Every structure is written in C-alpha cells, then in structure tokens.
Structure 1
Amino acid sequence: MTRNTPTAAPPAAARFAAAPTAPRRRPAPGQYAVWAVIAVLTLAPLVPLAITSFLSKPYYLPGGVFSTDAYRQLFADAAFRRAAWNTVVFAMTATALAVLLGAAFAVLITRTNLPGRRQLGHALPAPLLIPPLGLIVGWESLYGPAGYLTQLWSKNLHLPAWNLTSLPGMSVLGAVVTLPIAYLTCKAVLDSADGTLEDAVRACGGGTLRVLTTATVPMLRTALLDSGLLIFTLCLEVLGIPLFLGRPANIRFIASYLYDTWSSSSLPDPPVVSAGAILLLVVASALLVVRGRLLRHSARYTAGTRATPPARPLDLGRWRIPAAVGMAGFVGLTCVIPLLGLVVMSSVTDLTTLVAPWHLWTAANWDQIWTDPTLHRSITDSLTVAAVGSAATVALVALATVIAHHSGFRLRRTLPALLVYPRATPGIVFGVGFFWLFLIVDWPGALLRNSLWGELLALSVRNMTLAYIILAPALARISPELAKAAAASGASWWTNTRRITLPLLRPALLSALVLMFVTLVSDYDPVVFLTKPGTELLGTTMLQTWSKGLPGPVAAMALVQVLLVALALAAGLGWTLRKRGRHA
C-alpha cells in the first residue's frame, strides 16, 4: 500500500490560503513562472487521461474515434464490479477500525494517566515511517496463510487461525497502516484543546466515563470526520495489499484490477484502464469536495486553546496496566514483530516451523541484490530519485508556498488547491496520466518516457503536497512585520524571500526534505505504468520479484528500504539536535 502518509491539506490549511499578510507589491515575473510550473505539473497529466478514456483505440493506433465503449466495457465486466465492491468493503472496514483505534489511542495518550504514554505516543506513528511494501511483506511472512506465526498457532497449538488473505484480514492491515492518520489528527486536537470542560464535568461529580462521553469525545467530532474521509480516500487507491495478499485468494481491488488489466491485456494500454482511472479520480475528487464542505463549520466543535494540559489526567484505575500492556502489544504485533520477521525472512532459504530458522540461514538473498543487475540498479535508481526529487520538489514548493501566503500575486489563492490536489489524487491515476502525457507530448515526453527522470517527475508531483503541509504552517508563524520592514527599506519580494523568509524556514525545509526523501524511496504507485527495463525502482522491482515467487530477495530489498528511511530520519534528527545544542 502506498505510504499511507496524509493526502490532503488539514482543516487549518484553509486559513493559510487567506489574504496575504505581506504588503501588496507588483508581481515579479518569477511568480508567474512558479505558478505556471505548479499548474502544469498538477493538471497536465489529467487532460490526456480523460481524452484517452473516450477513444475507441489507444492513442497511438490509427482509426480511433470518440467513444464511451471503454466505460461500457468497464461496467459490464463482472470482475470490475466485484473489484469495486471489494474496494468499498475494504475501505469502510479499514476506515472504521483505524478511526476508532486512532481516536482511542489519542485519548489514552493525551488525557489519561496511562503508564509509559510518552514512549507509546512516539511509537504509534511508526507505520507512517515504515515503507508500506516492507510492512506488507513482514505481515505476510508471519501472519499470512503460510506465515510462521500462523503455522505455529494452527498446526503446533491446534487453534483456529486467522486468514490474512481475506477481506477482513486485509482490512485489518489497511487499518494498521492508516491508523496513525487518525491518531495524529485527534492528538493534535486534544493537545490544543482547552481542558476546562473536562475539569468542570469532574467538578460536578462526573467519573472518567462521563468526562469522555460528554466532553472529550464531542471535541473530536471534526477530527474524526476529517481523518475518516481522508483514510477512506486512501483505501480506495490501495495497490500493494491486493497484489501481495489478495492474489492467492483471487480478491482484487480497483487499483489491482487496473494494474492486472494493463499488464496482462493482449491490447497494449487498453482504454478501459484510462476509464477506470478517471472513475477513481472522480470519486476521490468528490470525496475531497465533500470533506471541504463538511469541515467549513469545524470551529463550532472546538473548545478554545490552552497552553497547559488539564490539571488532572483522567484516572484509569485498575485498567492502567492492562491498557498500557494492550497498547504496547498492539505496537509490537503490528510493527516490531513484522520487522523482525522481515529480517529473518531475508536471511533464510525458507521460513517454516518444521525447521529452526538458524538451520536455514543463508546469505543468498542478500548476494542476489548485489549480483542481479536489476535488483542492484533498483536501489541506486531509488536513491537518485529520492535525493534529486526531494531537493527539487522542496525548493519549488517552498517558493510556491511563499507566493501563496506572503505575496500580492493575483493568482496566489489557487496555489494551495494546486499543491494539495496531487496527493488527493490516487497514485495509479497519476501514473496512467503521466504515461499518456509523455506519449502525446513529443518533447520532452519522448525523453522522459524512457528514462528515470520521467519516474522522478511523476513521484515528485504526486508527493509535493507533503512538503506544502509542512511549510505552510511554518510560514504562518513568521511575522509579516519582517516583510513590511524589508519593503520599507526598498527590498524586492525576491530579496525578502531569499534573505529573510527562506532562512527562517530552514527547520521546516529540512523536515520537508527528509519527509520527501522517505516518501520517494518508498512510493511506487505512480510509476507502475512508467517503469521499463533499465529504470527500475525498489517498489516496482519488489512487485515484480514477488510475482516470480522469490520472497527472500523481496524481504532483503524491503529491509534496504527500511534502512534508507532510518538513515534519513536519523540524519534529520541529528541535524535538529545539533541546532538545538548550538542555541542552548
């Protein structure tokens, strides 16, 4: 599943799009250029996608005419209808589980006397930082039908086992991957909310349950709605879970249906795939609009802000220790143990309960990574894409964010929506769109279509929202008086941006750079239709290697992803700690 990091702007982003705080000036030519680049990168892939979905033949074949046959074929296909139903069931189940658990964990961490809540609070967002394919492979190696713990549970202990390859099983994994979104959203609300309402209920004799039902949970209405719609949208586009877990049980989702149709069709690049991608785009866009309309009046559910937590945390009584053990067990079963399973799986010939793992120890899986040109190239290509793409994307988004919120540019109000929309669009939709864009636009499409740079472009555009949602709040905290003072001394907008605004944004720029690097190393949805021999990335190579029945090398590549992510996070954290030490 795609790193199921947040795909749309938080409710506060609407405030960032308000009138500029800096004095109005004559727009610089560079502002028009930045706006044009953002607009073209965001919207250009969607235009050829819509066009090709209404052609009777692929664009490059002669004789194609306007037709709705692709849509009729899509709706007439029983396999697509079944895939759509599976997707909806999966999305609803995963969303319900993720929102309920995420909200419950947020309340326990921020509002109770739970032992070890600080450490547990740091551990709960882990699925956002673990590469999604690595987490899926780890789960499959332990909890799949032939997984180590599944076999130990059912054959050795003779107890009824779970079925990870069923819709409920995949929904549980989907909930684990997206739970951090609900947890972080609810935690942010509780951290900033006034605790006097809860204290007032306790002063009137209300117990813990009364405080939760009458004060705490009502404050989370907006957060629950926001995170729920966001998670549901993310679940509609999931690709890794059905490809890794759904295939053995012949369970397909919309994204995997389109992927299989594209890769197995006798007619290259069938229009039905474009039609399916457009349907996904329409549904995701409609959900984004609904989310925006429902959150317009979110302020009615807030209870003010506070600088300190409530005087007394809610007392869990005899449930303190069981709640802490349960939460720690959840983190261990969903993240820690699957990562350990990934380590073992990458170093054995076969992971089975019949033979102890140390008797099957081998270095062949790791040797294959360095000796197989495709596997080795996928690592170096992913590093290149992540390093170059993160730097270029953050630089462009930083300029666009400053233009959107600290300038008098006449089109500034459109930039936040343009920056948010790519991540709200399913990755597989962007992949098909960029494929047709590179094919239709001869230059530079011909150059990008068969090179690594086309994949870099698709991944960077798809994920530039992540840089924006970090930079926009940081920019909002910079006083407009600095821009006014610079303007009064005769400084141009660009001089003010280069000499004052961007230097003040350095911590946020570093955070955005690290997040973009981590995401570009792990993401794969936008490039599954763009990858060609010689331009393989880690994610797409793992999909192809898994389909060949080689779980060992896939586990090794997944660990490489995890190590790259860990190194990037450690480098960012080390830089931050050094900065704090200098200012201490």
Structure 2
Amino acid sequence: MTTTSYEQTFPRPRRSLIPAWALQWATWLLVVTLIVGPFIPLVYASLRDRPLYEAGGVLTIQPYRQLFGDSLFWHAWGNTLVFAALTTVIAVLGGALVAILCTRTDLAGRKAFGRLILLPILLPSLGMVLGWIVVWGPGGYLTSMFSDRLHLPTLAIDTIPGMALVEASRLLPIAFLTCQAALSRADSSLEDAARSAGARPLRVLFNITIPMLRPALLNAATLIFTLSIAALGIPLLLGTSNNIVFVSSYLYNTWTNASTPDPGSVSAGAVMMLGVATLLLLLRNRLLGAEARFVSVGGKTGRQALLRLRRWRWPFAGLLAFYLAFTTLVPVLGLAAMSFVVVLTPLVPPWELLTSSHWHVLWEDDAFRRSIQNSAIIAVVGAVATTAFVALATLVAHRSGFRFRHSLPFLMLYPRATPGIIIGIGFFWAYLLTGALGDYLRDSIWGIMLAFCVRNLPLAYIVMYPTLARIGEELDRAGRAAGAGWWRTSRTIVLPLLKPAIFASFILLFVEIINDYDPAVFLVKPGTEVMGATMLAQFIQGTVGPVSALAMVQVVITVVVLAIGAKVFKIGVTGGERGA
C-alpha cells in the first residue's frame, strides 16, 4: 500500500461547494459510526442487569456469569470449533488442489473449471443448504434412493462432519481464489528447474509449490474458519433434528424460542463471538504481511510452464466435473424439482406429482410476496448507496492526505469478518437507543437495508481497491497542478477510470444483499420481511414446497444478474473489465 505526500507546490485549488477536508472528515466519521457504532450498545447491553428497553438498571457482569455457567453454551462452542476446523481443512485442501490443477497443469477445460468452481459462493447460501436437504438430507430424494433401492450408505449431512462438508463446498472458492492469486503471481522457474533436474511431479508439488502457497493457505484458512464460526442456517436447518447446537444457533434460540428471552446473555455471547472474530481478523492481517516472503516474483512474470498430466488429464477433469455436479448442480436441480411437486420421493415418479401450488403461494401469501418485493427494493437501493459510499471512502483511504486515512482499510474489511447475527443484534440495540430515527428504521425495511449494507460493504472495497491501486497517482498530481482540488480531481479523473470496478461492485453487492439473511433475523417484523429470513422461519415451521420456490426465485435472480454483469459490463471475477 503506497501513500502520496501532497506538497504545497501546486496552485491554490479552486473553491468547491464542500471543502475537501469536510468531505473527508464526514466520510471517516460515517464509516466509524456505521461499523463501530452498533457494537457500543451491544457491549453496553451485555453489562446491564436488565434489557435496554426496560427503564432503570445498573451495570453488572451477571449476564456473563450466567452465560459462562451454562454448560450448553460451552457444548455449543465445542461443536462450533469442531465444525469450523473440519470445514477449514476440507475447504482449504480442496481449494488448493483445484487452484493447482487449474493454474499449474494442462487439465482439460481448466479455464472453464476456474469459473465454475466459484458458483457455490455466488449462489444463495441458504437456498443451497435447502437444496442439500431436499436431495441429501434425512429422507431426501437421493438419500432414499441409495439406501432403500441400492442399499448403499450415504453421508448423514445432519451430523457435524456432514454439515462441515456442506459448508466447505460453499467456502472452497475462497481458498481457490486465494491460492490461484498466489500461484499467478509466483514465478514457475523454480518448479521448472526442479523438474529439469529429474524431480517427480509429486516431489515438486510438496517441496516447492506448497511451501510457496503456505501464506496463502494460512490466509484462506483463517478467513474460512472465521466465516464457519458465524454459520447460522446450517445448524438451524440441519443440526436441530439431532440436537446439535452451535454458538450462533444457541444465541438465536435463546433470543427467539426461549420461554423467557434473555437479551443480556445473548448480548454477552455476541460480544464473545465478536472478540474471537476480531482476533482472527488481526491474525489474518499479519499473515497477509508475511506472504511476500514465500513468493518468487521477478518483475512481470512470464509465461508459466504447465505440468503435463498426460493420461490423468481427462480423469482429473471428470472428477472435478463430478464434484461440481454433486455439490452445486444436483442441489439446485433438487430445489427446482421440489418447487414443482407435491412431495419429492423416489417411490413415485416426479411427473405424477406435479403442482404449481407452491408458486401460487408466493403471490397469494402476503409474507412471501412482501419478502420478494422488500428484498428487491433493499438490494437495488442498498447496492447503489453502498457502491457510491465505498467509492468515496476508498478515495479518502488511498488518494488523500487525510490524517486518519490509514484506519479506513481495516474498518471497511471488519464487517465481513463479523458474524451477521452479531451485526443484527448490534443494530437492534442501536435502533432502540437512537430515538425517533431508530424507531423509524426499526419499523421499516430501511433498518434491515442499513444492516445488510454494512455487512457487505467490504466486498465493494475488495473489488475497488486493486483497480484504484493500478491507476497512477501522477494523474492526481496533474489535476492538482492544473488547479483542481482533491474532490474535483477525484470526480473528473479517478472515478471515471474506476467505472469498471464500480459496476462490478454494484453487481456483487446486489447479489449479496438480496441473498443475505443473518442480520435480519433480529430485525425483521411483520411488514418488513425479506426472502432469506422468511425462508429460514418458514422452513423451521415445516413449510418446504413454497420455501423451495422462494429459494429458486433467489437462484434465478442471482444467475440473471451475474449473467447481465458478465455480458453487458464485461465484468470478470475479480472486478473490472476483462482484458483491461
């Protein structure tokens, strides 16, 4: 990360309507308020002897004593850590293997596989879990077929290892992208020299390639472990039947399903999760700082020599295609079939049980219909507002002389490492303490939109910053030399060059916001339903068909928007224009 020292050798900037210093201060204060602000009432609520909505009360650590004295809480932590560890191991090993095959070998169709492997993280996470349940869950279509007709065992996805496999299939693309980026930057001359000296491919892999990937593997493992701890939908939908409780589902059930809700203990548990997530994010930042020591790069890397797989070229491609079909295509097809049949069972052909009643429910039931409308409005408005705000904040962080600019990158990455359920609890208490404005936000869809925008804000920054870093700062200096101020230079020179990344950010934010649900579970109320929260609540109550139809609405919207982004705006995976 480079910064520019702006010397006072330029002509006096032309006066603008809003001074640059005022705009920069306002941007920084808004970032701090939106990201750090909700956690202050969360900590305060965990230190009171009664909920914040009750008058009076004194400071106490009783909520922590009560929480730490509950054996179920520590049992939930044990389940969560085992689940997160298994998920991390499976996702990191799988992602690294696919990255090596697609980047360092002549695997058949490696470019196509490099794009298709990203589908699980782009498709709706809750919808994919529902697809797994319909197909591979207890009583699922293929589970029944394998056990009853073929008498073959299947993995029970309602166990901790099974849930880890489901989550790992969704998070594997994170490890793939991290390792692919490291391999693309690394010079392959060391591997070529080892092969020329007679080293076998496996020895080159373990002695050279994997050591170069070590920082990337640790980086991906830390991020995946953090995201796994925050999982909510999987333990609620898969773990409940076997009484498997994670920390996230423990907090959710304590707040929503307990005969006497205990907001103090829930807030204390949320603060504990927040502390763990913060420590993991700090660890990840340190690992990122060490990555350059393990990668050999000499200027602009040349053409990388690919390892010839020979007779294994097509078998490996077949195994990768089978994996994608098993983890992505089959669950989506099962979800689609469930939305069009009365019941999905191998005992009766699906075409004999066809029905459109599940889709009629989406338009006839007020809750389902409102959830679609509200989600669409929140996604469009939220994506536009967040994209514009992140573009401004990124300029302040990396293209200004603002005093506190170095704190912005960490702050803008922080919400993604924070469990969504904690963000939802934090905004719930924040709205409760902010008077008329908080009441308005709590009673409207805009309060949920704000929580979603803060949760997904880091995605826009991750897309914009690399593009901004490639724009030479001499353009800023040229604008300043011509007498333009900071804002006019940014608006007329830098932002137009950021357009590809801005469009990519909008598409990505729209998809993520319309599929998000974790922060909304504590904020949603009648009239403010969103698709994810409605699916979660209705499925827990036993409604399967209409929920499958609603999940397919999410899938179709996601695929259509991503296709439009790829074709119209020529948006690549990492943002920006292809070939730029």
Instruction: Name the TM-score class by shorter chain.
Output: over 0.9
Q: Which residue in 2 is equivalent to 1:20?
A: 4
Superimposed CA distance per residue, residues 87-141 of structure 1 (whole angstroms, 9 cap, x where no aligned partner) = 0000000000000010011001111121111111111111111100110011000
Does 2:278 correspond to 1:294? no
Residue of structure 2 aligned with 1:543, choices 536, 548, 573? 536
Q: Which residue in 1 is equivalent to 2:376?
A: 383
**Mapped partners of 1:184, 1:551: distance in 2:** 34
Does 2:104 correspond to 1:111? yes
**Mapped partners of 2:257, 2:142: distance in 1:** 34
Residue of structure 1 aligned with 2:349, choices 323, 335, 356? 356
* CA 1:471–1:582: 2 relative to 1, 3 Å: closer
The alpha carbon displacement at 1:247 in A equals 1.0
Superimposed CA distance per residue, residues 133-180 of structure 1 (whole angstroms, 9 cap, x where no aligned partner) = 110011000100111000000000112232110011001011101100
What aligned pairs does 1:80-479 form with structure 2 within 5 A after superposition?
Answer: 80-268=73-261, 270-305=263-298, 306-311=300-305, 313-479=306-472
* CA 1:177–1:23: 2 relative to 1, 3 Å: farther
**Mapped partners of 2:153, 2:68: distance in 1:** 39
Q: Is the 8 A contact 2:500 2:577 kept in 1?
A: no
**Mapped partners of 2:5, 2:469: distance in 1:** 9
The alpha carbon displacement at 1:333 in A equals 0.3
* CA 1:365–1:22: 2 relative to 1, 3 Å: farther
The alpha carbon displacement at 1:77 in A equals 1.3
The alpha carbon displacement at 1:259 in A equals 0.6
Does 2:502 correspond to 1:509? yes
Amino acid at match of 2:523: L
Q: Which residue in 2 is equivalent to 1:494?
A: 487
**Mapped partners of 2:470, 2:288: distance in 1:** 23
The alpha carbon displacement at 1:443 in A equals 3.5
Q: Is the 8 A contact 2:254 2:261 kept in 1?
A: no
Residue of structure 2 aligned with 1:76, choices 66, 69, 73? 69
TM-score scaled to structure 1, two decimals? 0.94
Please give the root-mean-square deviation of Cα atoms over the aligned residues, in Å: 1.9
Q: Which residue in 2 is equivalent to 1:8?
A: none
* CA 1:321–1:21: 2 relative to 1, 3 Å: farther
Q: Is the 8 A contact 1:27 1:409 kept in 2?
A: no
Superimposed CA distance per residue, residues 204-260 of structure 1 (whole angstroms, 9 cap, x where no aligned partner) = 111211221222111101100000000000000000101111111111111111111
Structure 2: unaligned runs, 5 residues or longer: 14-18
Q: Is the 8 A contact 1:53 1:70 kept in 2?
A: yes
Aligned residue for 1:314, secondary structure, equals coil
The alpha carbon displacement at 1:408 in A equals 1.0
Identity over aligned residues, as a percent? 47
**Mapped partners of 1:469, 1:242: distance in 2:** 29
**Mapped partners of 1:455, 1:581: distance in 2:** 32
**Mapped partners of 1:142, 1:21: distance in 2:** 58
76-85 vs 223-232, which moves further:
76-85
Superimposed CA distance per residue, residues 171-209 of structure 1 (whole angstroms, 9 cap, x where no aligned partner) = 101110110000110011111210100111011111211
Superimposed CA distance per residue, residues 416-439 of structure 1 (whole angstroms, 9 cap, x where no aligned partner) = 111111111111111000000000
Aligned residue for 1:227, secondary structure, equals helix
**Mapped partners of 2:147, 2:261: distance in 1:** 44
Q: Which residue in 2 is equivalent to 1:518?
A: 511
Q: Is the 8 A contact 1:22 1:406 kept in 2?
A: no
TM-score scaled to structure 2, two decimals? 0.95
Aligned residue for 1:570, secondary structure, equals helix
Does 2:18 correspond to 1:34? no
Aligned residue for 1:328, secondary structure, equals helix
Aligned residue for 1:309, secondary structure, equals coil
**Mapped partners of 1:247, 1:266: distance in 2:** 18
The alpha carbon displacement at 1:62 in A equals 3.2
**Mapped partners of 1:409, 1:276: distance in 2:** 36
**Mapped partners of 2:412, 2:544: distance in 1:** 37
**Mapped partners of 2:560, 2:137: distance in 1:** 29
Q: Which residue in 1 is equivalent to 2:16?
A: none
**Mapped partners of 2:483, 2:425: distance in 1:** 48
Aligned residues: 567
Superimposed CA distance per residue, residues 503-562 of structure 1 (whole angstroms, 9 cap, x where no aligned partner) = 110000000000000000011111110000000000000011101211111110111001
